Structure 1
Amino acid sequence: MPGPDAFEATAYGIVAVGSSAGGVKALLAILGELPADFPVPLVVVQHLDPRHDTILADILNRRSRLRIKLAEGGESLEPGVVYVAPPDRHLLVRPGGRLGLSVTEQVKFVRPSADLLFESVAEVYGPATLACVLTGTGSDGSVGAGVVKSRGGTVVAEDPKTAEFKGMPQSVAKAVSVDLVLPLDEIASALVGLVKGTRTL
């Protein structure tokens, strides 16, 4: 089962992404630039309307060379697959590299919560965690980013100056020492470089 040691050829074992308002456009920009051989799984929390089914995975799939799907509880993480949190469910990574879905209380008025995702990934992957905070209102992701940093992981944030909504990236930059602050159009190449070990912080 994939765990923190499963992807030994890479500097990181997983990429966790949190986004909210403006996030669909940002995710399209990043996932559309990642190569088909991206060597680790990605887990994504995008705040969605809980009252409706989502076609987010379908939209992203049209623009990406990676396989993108709504996350299912109990499935094992696979490299090069993007797992998107379904509406109104917290997405968690469990020991052994399995996904969990939860309907526990909202965190900062949202479910799914980037904070909970980041915390769960940091617990399993430790320093092999790469977390990325994109455009959004509010402060979701900042507490979880602190846990990622405390476990030796890496945090990347979209530059608030270029983010469509500055709240989330500004909040994480105030909460923790962010490793990289980048405009949206530079994030994909940075993720590739970090994961493949060709870019250093």
Structure 2
Amino acid sequence: MTSPAAIAIGCSAGGVDALMTLLGGLDAGLQQPVLVCCHRSDAMDILGDVLGRNSVLPVIEAVERQPVQPGVVHLAPAGYHLLVESDLNFALSVDPRVNYSRPSIDVLFCSAAEVWRQALIGVILTGANADGAAGLLRIRQLGGVAIVQSPADAEATAMPQAALDLAGADYCLPLSDIAPVLNQLCHEYSHSQDPGRR
């Protein structure tokens, strides 16, 4: 794997608490953009504010044609699929729901995988359906790294278990260990001349 260029995170049921823990544990000097798809209703329009109070990185909601910014957490807005285009700008879509979800983790992960390929880290956290499994598989197929929260540690086991069943994982960890591993991977690959560790 080359130096990670981006981190993509997906979650559903129980995901807000999980994201607060994970984002609060990241290195404040992290240079990679973080893309987050959390299943939520339109009523949850304060998600960015909630996460921003716990995150060491700035948290913003992605908007159409906005450039991907390093060291920033970008949230998929409620009611829209979030995609990354080849010019590293965001695109929003109101295409049909995928796995009963819009935004869909699969849609975000698959588009991000095509852009960053082996330089993408995908993370699946707690959730109650199978969204994200196919996207995580695509990340691994293109050489990226897959991290899955241990189902035994998740508030809702279905999503991480589906990801493990379909895609497997390079790391299957309790929530408290995920941010330290992300920090280590980003630091290690940013300062290493040997991209071959996998």
Quickly name the TM-score band, shorter chain normalised: over 0.9
Q: How does 1:178-189 map to 2 (within 5 A)?
A: 178-189=169-180
Q: How does 1:1-201 map to 2 (within 5 A)?
A: 11-50=3-42, 52=43, 54-197=45-188, 201=198
Consecutive aligned runs of 4 or more in structure 1 exceeding 6 Å deviation: none
| 2:151 partner SS | coil
Cα deviation digits, residues 158-183 of structure 1 (max 9, x gap): 00010000011000000012100000
Cα deviation digits, residues 127-165 of structure 1 (max 9, x gap): 001000000001000011111111111110000010000
Alpha-carbon separation, structure 2, partners of 1:129 and 1:15? 6
Structure 2 alignment gaps of length 5 or more: none
RMSD after superposition: 1.4
Give, in angstroms, the shift of residue 53 of structure 1.
5.1
Amino acid corresponding to residue 108 of structure 1 in structure 2: N
Alpha-carbon separation, structure 2, partners of 1:128 and 1:96? 16
- Normalised TM-score (structure 1): 0.92
Identity %: 38
Alpha-carbon separation, structure 2, partners of 1:85 and 1:138? 18
- Normalised TM-score (structure 2): 0.93
Change (3 A) 1:178 1:31: same
Give, in angstroms, the shift of residue 185 of structure 1.
0.3
Structure 1 alignment gaps of length 5 or more: 1-9
Alpha-carbon separation, structure 1, partners of 2:73 and 2:91? 15
Amino acid corresponding to residue 13 of structure 1 in structure 2: A
